[in-house]
A and B are shown apart, each in its own frame.
With several copies, the nearest count.
Chain A
Amino acid sequence: PDPLFAATTEMEMYTHLFNKMASTCFEKCASRKHKEEDLALGEMSCSDRCVSKYLEAQEKVGVVLQKANEAQMKQQQNFADMQNALGG
């Protein structure tokens, strides 16, 4: 695979992750009344904790996804081995 493509795709993924995180933490932490032009202290500390939890959730999901991928590959390998044994 093309290394430049891989790098671009990874960067796109991080940009996308960042945008979703910013959007979700805004929804969860910012009052929807928008009376002030600035963020209140409570809204800012809420968003700090939100980022921290979001990144932790990202790690946990990564582990689950990795395991699922490995399980799927193993299954495909078993299937290929079985076919070889039957064919050989």
Chain B
Amino acid sequence: LEQMQMKDSLSMYNNLVERCFQTCITSFRSKSLDKHETSCVEHCAARYIKMTQRVGLRFAEHQALQQKRAADAAGAGR
């Protein structure tokens, strides 16, 4: 389980880099990020983390509701 979490967080890292690079970097005339690109990458990462947390909450609520429904259905069936 711990191993899976470690893999997940590393793969999240790579995905963040890929996504925010794709969105924010469009010019390859210089070899360093300019101010605008840097702030875009940083905001993109921070916003993605926040949205993932929110999506996680909604997902957990949904799963709790489903388990309650399943339990109620099992109770009613008795």
Contacts and interface: CB of A to CB of B under 8 A. Distances in A.
Q: Do A and B touch (CB < 8 Å)?
A: yes
Interface residues of B, number: 50
Contacts of B16: 61, 65
Interface string A23-47: 1111011101111111100011011
A53 B42 contact: no
Contacts of B14: 13, 16-17, 20
Contact of A53 (B8, B10, B25, B47): B25
A15 B4 contact: yes
B54 to A, nearest CB: 6
B70 interface: no
A57 B4 contact: no
B2 to A, nearest CB: 6
Nearest to B49: A68
B67 interface: no
B28 A29 contact: yes
B36 to A, nearest CB: 10
Interface of A: 1-2, 5-6, 8-13, 15-26, 28-30, 32-39, 43-44, 46-58, 60-65, 68
Interface of B: 2-4, 6-8, 10-25, 28-33, 37-52, 54-56, 58-59, 62
